[in-house]
């Protein structure tokens, strides 16, 4: 069995962390009897520099022809002054939309070995936490009508939040299905006390909930959710929310797990092809220094094996190798304490590779 994987290394530290994930995936494939053919395509700033656009047609075609897509990160100050329609981030939004990837899964787990890196008091995370944010990915304010105009007080800009019933129904079903395989609880996050789009969101989520016996649903305003994640993250199982709210809340969660360099993500649609990426950015100041953490990208590769390639045992193997490396004291700069030896990106990758059984 050979899988065709599109690599979108992108900008900044993207190439380094993707290469780390590829090394782990290749060794894991050998251990479980499958191979992967990796194909490089341009995205983001790297694509702009070579082709003038953030998403070349060659990249689109390559992704559509692949079994799955592994992404590093895009963007950086080099391209900040470009018009919005050709900035690196525009390419990322476009490829998600073209591939029909309306679901973003962002798991957040506090590893026992990193408990001391959590920003919360030890008594608040004594039993750890394990939750997943199900973020709607192709609708909402990031894709709504936008522009600039002359208003009451002069020049103004606007971005529109808009959701259809269909968009809410399908993301809600993903969340409830995930909860059925976990602890059976969904927290739907909105701003229904203010936004009409959130009132439609809440109504629709509750109607869909009736289809899922054994799963409970609660509503929580986004500002309260931000507080509750700090007070008691263990109370959450599956959080389902809109594009922008999910973006913000998952970054908040990253600080409770020790580092944003620890959190993977999966972007999924109705088919098996997905796009997998760490939730952090391109960190251009660390590019080429070897100081980045490859774990989020490596774990994104594990999610690819699980959700797109149906290689669950191989995914478990990678996740266990990461867990074991952390338990053995392996630390990159972002998760190292004063007495820890800091490993480079390459050294952390080697540590994980050593813990994958052939």
User: What pLDDT is recorded for position 300?
Assistant: 98
Mean pLDDT for the chain? 95
Residues linked to residue 149 through DSSP beta bridges, in sequence order: 156
pLDDT at residue 96 tops 80: yes
Q: Which of 39, 38, 50, 37 is nearest to 11 (CA)?
A: 50
Question: Does pLDDT of 308 surpass 90?
Answer: yes
Instruction: Concatenate the DSSP letters of all residues of 60-71 into one string.
Output: HHHHHTSSEEEE
Asked whether the predicted pLDDT for residue 301 surpasses 80, the reply is: yes
Residue 99: other Cβ atoms inside 10 A: 21
Among residues of the chain, what percentage have pLDDT more than 90? 87
DSSP state, 30? H
Contacts of 121 (CB under 8 A, 6+ apart): none
Confidence (pLDDT) at 84:
85
What is Dmax (Cα atoms) for the chain? 67
pLDDT score of 116 more than 90: no
12-62 pLDDT, tens digit each: 999 999 999 999 999 999 999 999 999 999 999 999 999 999 999 999 999
Confidence of residue 214 (pLDDT cuts 50, 70, 90): very high
Averaged pLDDT, 197-208 = 98
Q: Give the separation between CA 290 and CA 346, rounded to whole angstroms.
A: 7
pLDDT, residue 312, reads 94
Q: Are strands 130-136 and 103-109 parallel, antiparallel or unpaired?
A: antiparallel
Contact in structure between 182 and 146 (CB atoms under 8 Å): no
Q: Specify the pLDDT at position 127.
A: 82
Q: What is the 3-state secondary structure (H, E, C) of 205-222?
A: HHHHHCCCCCCEEEEEEH
List the structure tokens of 335: 């998760």
Residue 299 corresponds to which tokens in the numbers above?
């774990």
| pLDDT at residue 284, rounded to an integer | 94
> Which residue bears the tokens 């993500």?
265
Q: Quick one: pLDDT at residue 122? A: 86
Beta bridge partners of residue 220, listed in sequence order: 189
Domains identified in the chain and CATH numbers:
1-103+265-358 (3.40.718.10), 119-256 (3.40.718.10)
Confidence class for position 118, pLDDT limits 50, 70, 90: confident
81 three-class SS: coil
Q: Does the pLDDT value for residue 358 go beyond 80? A: no
Looking at residues 162-171, what average pLDDT do you find?
Answer: 98
Separation of alpha carbons 5 and 212, rounded Å: 34
User: Rounded to an integer, what distance in angstroms lies between the CA atom of residue 84 and that of residue 90?
Assistant: 7
Confidence at residue 146, expressed as pLDDT on a 0 to 100 scale: 93
Question: How do 331-332 and 342-343 pair as beta strands?
Answer: parallel
pLDDT at site 136: 96
Which token pair is 52? Answer: 């003038």
Is 300 within 8 Å of 277 (Cβ atoms)? Answer: yes
Contact 107, 43 (CB under 8 A): no
CB 73 within 8 A of CB 277: yes
In contact, 298 and 349? CB cutoff 8 Å: yes
pLDDT of residue 100: 93
How many CA atoms within 13 Å lie on the side-chain side of 342? 11
Catalytic sites, residue numbers: 142, 191, 223, 247, 251
Q: What is the pLDDT of residues 322-352, one digit of tens each?
A: 999 999 999 999 999 888 999 999 999 999 9
Residue 245 near residue 222, CB atoms below 8 Å: yes
Determine the Cα–Cα distance for residues 131 and 64; give it in Å rounded to an integer.
Answer: 31
Q: Report the chain's C-alpha Rg in angstroms.
A: 20
User: At residue 337, what are phi and psi to the nearest 5 degrees?
Assistant: -95, 175
Note whether 136 and 167 are within 8 A (CB): yes
Residues 6 or more apart in contact with residue 166 via CB below 8 angstroms: none
Residue range 226-266, pLDDT digits in tens: 999 999 999 999 999 999 999 999 889 888 888 889 999 99
- The β-bridge relationship of strands 146-151 and 154-159 is antiparallel
User: How much is the pLDDT for 255?
Assistant: 82
Is the pTM here over 0.85, yes or no? yes
In whole angstroms, how far apart are CA 268 and each of 52, 103, 135, 333?
A: 28, 5, 11, 31
φ, ψ for residue 239, nearest 5 deg: -110, 125
Q: What is the pLDDT of residue 126?
A: 80
Are the C-beta atoms of residues 269 and 99 closer than 8 Å to each other?
yes
């Amino acid at each position: 069995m050979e899988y065709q994987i599109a690599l979108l290394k992108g900008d900044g530290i993207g190439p380094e962390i993707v290469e780390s994930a590829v090394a782990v995936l290749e060794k894991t494939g050998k251990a479980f009897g499958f191979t992967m053919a990796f194909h490089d395509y341009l995205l983001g700033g790297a694509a702009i520099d070579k082709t003038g656009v953030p998403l070349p047609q060659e990249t689109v075609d390559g992704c559509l022809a692949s079994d799955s897509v592994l992404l590093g990160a895009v963007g950086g100050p080099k391209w900040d002054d470009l018009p919005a329609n050709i900035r690196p981030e525009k390419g990322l939004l476009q490829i998600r939309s073209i591939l029909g990837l309306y679901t973003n899964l962002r798991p957040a787990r506090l590893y026992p070995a990193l408990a001391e890196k959590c920003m919360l008091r030890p008594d608040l995370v004594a039993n750890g936490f394990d939750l997943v944010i199900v973020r709607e990915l192709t609708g909402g304010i990031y894709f709504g009508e936008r522009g600039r105009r002359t208003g009451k007080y002069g020049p103004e800009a606007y971005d529109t939040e808009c959701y259809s019933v269909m968009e809410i129904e399908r993301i809600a079903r993903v969340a409830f299905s995930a909860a059925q395989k976990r602890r059976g609880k969904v927290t739907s996050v909105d701003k229904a006390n203010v936004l009409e789009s959130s009132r439609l969101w809440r109504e629709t989520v509750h109607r869909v909930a009736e289809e899922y016996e054994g799963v409970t649903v609660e509503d929580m305003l986004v500002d309260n959710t931000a507080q509750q994640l700090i007070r008691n993250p263990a109370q959450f199982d599956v959080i389902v929310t809109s594009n922008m709210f999910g973006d913000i809340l998952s970054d908040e969660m990253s600080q409770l797990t020790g580092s944003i360099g620890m959190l993977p993500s999966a972007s999924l649609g109705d088919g098996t092809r997905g796009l997998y990426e760490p939730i952090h950015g391109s960190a251009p100041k660390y590019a080429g220094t070897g100081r980045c953490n490859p774990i989020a990208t490596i774990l994104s590769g594990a999610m690819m094996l699980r959700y797109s390639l149906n290689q669950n045992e191989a995914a478990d193997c990678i996740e266990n190798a990461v867990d074991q490396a952390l338990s053995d004291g392996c630390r990159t700069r972002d998760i190292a304490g004063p007495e820890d030896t800091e490993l480079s990106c390459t050294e952390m990758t080697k540590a994980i590779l050593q813990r994958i059984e052939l």
